[in-house]
Structure 1
Amino acid sequence: MIKSDIFIKNPKKTIVIAQFIFWVSFFIYFFFLERQYNNVINSVLFSAKATVFYSVLTYFHAFYILPFVERKQYLKYSIITLLFLFIIIVLSLSFEYFAFSKSEPKSSFSEYYNFSGGQIVRTIGSAINALIISALIKFTFDNFLLQKQQLEQSKSRLETEMKYLKAQINPHFLFNTLNSLLYLTRNKSDLAPDVVEKLSELMRYLLEHNDIDEIPLLKEVEFIKAYLELEKIRIPHVSVNFKVNIKNENINIPTMLLLPLVENAFKHGINKNNSENYVHIEINETDDIILTVENSLWLNNTIDNSRDGMGINNLKKRLDLLFGNNYKLTFDKNKKVFKSKLIIPKI
């Protein structure tokens, strides 16, 4: 992908610039070649004629005649090509005859400025070479356009999938919180109003940032803090330790990327009947962004925190789409502790 990115982003502009440079170089080459045998005026005329001859032949064949081959109209292509070659060769030889026949012969090139068999053969050979070159130009141009089209289609599919995965995060978070609220209301807990208030604040944040692909890391940290406050309201006997070490306040990360691991710890690592629950969260900025979440596991917990269905699976899919292989997500579990670690590059 990297080696052709420049061409893929704007193939038309790239090819136009490249061919402009080519034809200027072509003109200069023929000028200095002819200048060894002729004066400046004749050298300019000959170089201009050669440049026009080759360029017209190349582009007319590439963009107006070759399409007949693509449409499998081979007979039509052959007839038009032969007719076009005849016209362009006659015009080229005629120009040379009228432009140079009255000049005194200087040396080798000037000796052939006539309708001799040798000059005709050379002109036909040059024309055939131009046809081959034009076919290569057309193939290259079409190939880059095809790559660009495929890249745009792939990008569109990825954006659609990313929006779909991102859209699933909000309902997932909301359902988990509503389940907790349901638990509190059934037990007629006085904490229910505070949970509703905190939940409304978090939902407002989600709505405000729903269409934003990236947010400052500090904003994500603030959201996680608000989420932790909500969890501490509904589970007062959990010990929460949240450490943040961020040096650069301008770092951005994809929206709602860190929450699933934090949420996962509370969903599978907390026993409401046990007072020895803990969740330790740490966000560090080094060369990368590192999120570490460690939580207690209650006795007989057979649930694998790394297989959280929608939450963790969506996170893995988002990470694959965002970073490819340039990230690391690991899970470590024993009888009492579950630890997850996410390392992502800085944006």
Structure 2
Amino acid sequence: MQTAKNWLEKNYRIVVISFIHVLAWVLYLGFYATAFIQRGDNLDYRIIFVLSVILTDVPVFYYSYLSTIPKLLVGQKVWKFLLITLAILILYPLSRYGIDLLFIKYYDGELAPLTIISTSQFTTVFGVRALAALFVIAMAGIGKFTFDWFENARIRRELENQNLLSELAFLKSQINPHFLFNTLNNIHTLAYKKAEGAPEAIMKLSELMRYMIYESDMSFVPLSKEIQHLKSFIDLQELRFKQKGIVNLEVTGDVKQREIAPLLLLPFIENAFKHGYDLNKEGAIKATLHIGDEIAYEVENLIPSTDTLLQKDVVGGIGLENVRRRLELIYPKSHTFLVNESSNSFTVRLTLKTHE
């Protein structure tokens, strides 16, 4: 049972296309059976009529569908395509006529009105069957272009998804070196000053890197782990500044069973530490994280009132611009991202719908 399921998943598109082809032929032959066979015609004639249609229409359809249309018409060899089509319009009625004669000669049953058609209405029937051949070729063209359009649309979607995944992976890969570069600089400062917090800072960095390397590869992570990662980063920064409580982080709401894209909260705090002002005091950075129907996340830090240019590299740099693009890719139309700069503060606000 599992083998059949795996085969079906692997060949799903082929099965669907084959089913559509079979259904189309059933409807087509059903149309022939109702439109060109009279109620009073005998069963033998009905069977022979449908069989002759199958023997001529199916080859013409798939020859056009698989060969002349994709190789000649699509391949810009229009004149060659028209010549082959003209040949089909001549050979198709003759083939049907030859099949009719074979059935009349070798079949013992009653085939009227097939006998009448083959003997006294050749010219009229020839024209009708030429139009029937043209109809079959047209249906092959419509079918080919329709299936190709859906196939091309599927390929475009796959390429777009691959491009988005590649871009997302690139954006995420930028976070690790950016974060590591800043943190190593901080630890170097602690070590240079022979601060007691250097060993603890290295341990904190180890925890952070373990999360970034082994857990952030997933599309979404538990919100509780992301918050813990954020708190570990804050602890590491406060070791650097030798000041507790620099970040006033307030988390409200139920974080259980909630998920978020990894490494999404960190750049807000990292940006505040990098560009903040007067960080050697408690509450220099205010951060709130409220979990309800949506996540509401806000980080505010002070900036020098006389030099707001310090913040101008933020929006266009790796940090918040990276976050902005990741949000567009991961949470399209389900987030808001606002940056507000006043005379003495810089605030970033994020709201998003999360995965449960």
TM bracket, shorter-chain basis: 0.7 to 0.9
TM-superposed CA distance for 1:119, in Å, is: 0.8
Give matches, 1:286-325, under 5 Å: 286=293, 288-297=294-303, 299-300=305-306, 302=308, 303-304=310-311, 307=315, 309-325=317-333
Instruction: Look up the match of 1:21.
Output: 23
Aligned CA distance change for structure 1 residues 267 and 275 (closer, same or farther; 3 Å): same
Instruction: Look up the match of 2:61.
Output: 58
- Code of the aligned partner of 1:29: F
Instruction: Provide the rounded CA distance (Å) in 1 between the counterparts of 2:205 and 2:111.
Output: 95
Q: Which deviates the most, 187-196 or 273-282?
A: 273-282
Cα RMSD for the two superposed structures: 3.0
Matched-pair contact (CA < 8 Å) for 2:45–2:111: no
Unaligned runs of 5+ in 1: 1-9
Matched-pair contact (CA < 8 Å) for 1:100–1:113: no
Aligned CA distance change for structure 1 residues 324 and 266 (closer, same or farther; 3 Å): same
Instruction: Look up the match of 1:95.
Output: 99
Instruction: Look up the match of 1:262.
Output: 269
Matched-pair contact (CA < 8 Å) for 1:295–1:339: yes
TM-superposed CA distance for 1:171, in Å, is: 0.9
- Give deviations 1:13-42, integer Å, cap 9, x for gaps: 544332322111222233344252323343
Aligned CA distance change for structure 1 residues 343 and 273 (closer, same or farther; 3 Å): closer
Aligned CA distance change for structure 1 residues 294 and 28 (closer, same or farther; 3 Å): same
TM-score, scaled to structure 1: 0.84
- Give deviations 1:157-194, integer Å, cap 9, x for gaps: 22222111110001111122122223323333221221
Q: Secondary structure at the match of 1:342?
A: strand
Aligned CA distance change for structure 1 residues 293 and 151 (closer, same or farther; 3 Å): same
Instruction: Provide the rounded CA distance (Å) in 1 between the counterparts of 2:233 and 2:255.
Output: 23
Aligned CA distance change for structure 1 residues 248 and 56 (closer, same or farther; 3 Å): farther
- Code of the aligned partner of 1:316: R
Matched-pair contact (CA < 8 Å) for 1:278–1:296: yes
Q: Which deviates the most, 298-307 or 166-175?
A: 298-307
Instruction: Look up the match of 1:331.
Output: 339
- Code of the aligned partner of 1:42: Y
Of residues 186, 189, 196 in structure 2, which corresponds to 1:183?
189
Instruction: Provide the rounded CA distance (Å) in 2 between the counterparts of 1:290 and 1:113.
Output: 81
- Code of the aligned partner of 1:194: E
- Code of the aligned partner of 2:272: A
- Code of the aligned partner of 2:100: E
Unaligned runs of 5+ in 2: 1-11
Of residues 254, 259, 271 in structure 2, which corresponds to 1:252?
259
TM-superposed CA distance for 1:81, in Å, is: 3.4
Matched-pair contact (CA < 8 Å) for 1:328–1:342: yes
Instruction: Look up the match of 1:137.
Output: 143
Instruction: Look up the match of 1:196.
Output: 202
Instruction: Provide the rounded CA distance (Å) in 2 between the counterparts of 1:275 and 1:299.
Output: 19
> Quick check: 1:218 aligned with 2:224?
yes
Give matches, 1:3-18, under 5 Å: 13-18=15-20
Instruction: Provide the rounded CA distance (Å) in 2 between the counterparts of 1:116 and 1:197.
Output: 94
Sequence identity percentage: 24
Instruction: Provide the rounded CA distance (Å) in 2 between the counterparts of 1:131 and 1:39.
Output: 30
TM-superposed CA distance for 1:299, in Å, is: 4.6
- Give deviations 1:269-322, integer Å, cap 9, x for gaps: 342444551322314131x33322233445545133752611111111222222
Aligned CA distance change for structure 1 residues 39 and 221 (closer, same or farther; 3 Å): farther
Matched-pair contact (CA < 8 Å) for 1:329–1:340: yes
Matched-pair contact (CA < 8 Å) for 1:26–1:51: no
- Code of the aligned partner of 2:117: Y
Q: Secondary structure at the match of 1:346?
A: coil
Instruction: Provide the rounded CA distance (Å) in 2 between the counterparts of 1:345 and 1:15.
Output: 38
Matched-pair contact (CA < 8 Å) for 2:336–2:351: yes
- Code of the aligned partner of 1:88: Y
Instruction: Provide the rounded CA distance (Å) in 2 between the counterparts of 1:159 and 1:224.
Output: 25
Instruction: Provide the rounded CA distance (Å) in 2 between the counterparts of 1:37 and 1:243.
Output: 83
- Give deviations 1:203-236, integer Å, cap 9, x for gaps: 1211112533322222212211222222232231
Instruction: Look up the match of 1:227.
Output: 233
Aligned CA distance change for structure 1 residues 184 and 330 (closer, same or farther; 3 Å): same
Instruction: Look up the match of 1:112.
Output: 117
Aligned length: 335
Aligned CA distance change for structure 1 residues 43 and 246 (closer, same or farther; 3 Å): farther
Matched-pair contact (CA < 8 Å) for 2:56–2:96: yes
Give structure 1 regions of 4+ aligned residues with deviation exceeding 4 angstroms. 10-14, 273-276
Instruction: Look up the match of 2:153.
Output: 147
- Code of the aligned partner of 2:32: F
